[in-house]
Amino acid sequence: MSSTAHTCTYLTLLPRFALGLHFLRSQLRSLTVPSTSYAGRTVIVTGANGGLGLEAARHFVHLGAARVILACRSTERGETAKADIEASTSSPAVIEVWTLDLCSFDSVRAFCRRADQDLDRLDVLLANAALLSLDSTKMAEGYEMQIAANVISNFLMVLMLLPLMKRTAARWNVETNVTVVASEAHFFVSSHDTLPHLSPAHSTSTSADTVRPKRPTQHIRLLPPWWRHGGALQHLQAARHPRRAGTRRPSRCG
């Protein structure tokens, strides 16, 4: 291999090496424990039965939230998470478990309608739930499953809950928040070989091949940041309420 080729290879790998180094360093730093009071506020955390969602919900309870909704696909796992949080916070009347399956648009709609009917306010929507599958032929609602669950359903949920959050902000003169948890894995994707492969299966064919991506685990990580750059979150931020919306990558939180 020529010296020029070696140089090109080095320059190609350097950004990824730097990103990997940044990720490792970010995992070792201490995080600031939140201290803002959430007294009287209502919070929804999706994917709250484990991991980041569980710990985020625990923090909201610690901070005094009046209602914390654990939105989970499995109510059994949700109830286990509820018991775990209650045991560590002594707040038995705060936490509720609601069913939400992001692979089903009907489930998302039912969840949002329930929120609109049962909640007098919604201050925080933490869209943490997501799924990862190495099998890009799995489908949901006519789309590649990860696209349906991690992207389309999140769009649908945010837009359906937005009127409730706008009413909350106007009625109580508070800042409502929408946060979508994303990932730094999208840095490893080139957009030119990604978006053209996301057409819905039902638009031209029932075959899963029409939406089979070249690198499925990277495709799905490109799209959450696209919320910012593609205009979805600009739409939310342009509205008078809520006044804060954004994506957060776990390795950069805190």
What CATH number corresponds to the domain at position 110? 3.40.50.720
Q: What is the pLDDT of residues 216-246, one digit of tens each?
A: 444 444 455 444 444 445 555 555 554 565 5
Write down the pLDDT at residue 219: 45
- Stretch (H or E) spanning 72: strand 67-72
Q: Give the mean pLDDT of 4-16.
A: 55
Write down the pLDDT at residue 184: 64
pLDDT band at 16 (very low <50, low <70, confident <90, very high): low
Write down the pLDDT at residue 83: 95
Write down the pLDDT at residue 97: 98
Residue scoring higher pLDDT (209 or 248): 248
- Domain with 206, as residue range(s), is 34-184+198-252
Number of domains in the chain: 1
Residue scoring higher pLDDT (47 or 217): 47
Write down the pLDDT at residue 218: 43
In a 10 Å sphere around its CB, with 0-12 CB exposed, 13-18 middle and 19+ buried, how is residue 195 labelled? Answer: middle
Q: Is residue 24 part of a domain?
A: no
Q: Give the mean pLDDT of 174-188.
A: 79
Q: Is residue 3 part of a domain?
A: no
Q: β-strands 42-46, 124-127: how paired?
A: parallel
Q: In this structure, what token pair is assigned to residue 196?
A: 């053209």
Q: Is residue 29 part of a domain?
A: no
DSSP 124-148: EEEE------S-TT-EETTEEHHII
Q: Is residue 4 part of a domain?
A: no
- How many CB atoms neighbour CB 155 within 10 A? 15
Q: Are 80 and 105 in contact (CB under 8 A)?
A: no
Q: What is the pLDDT of residues 102-160, one digit of tens each?
A: 999 999 999 999 999 999 999 999 999 988 887 878 899 999 998 899 889 999 999 99
pTM assigned to the model: 0.76
Q: Is residue 157 part of a domain?
A: yes
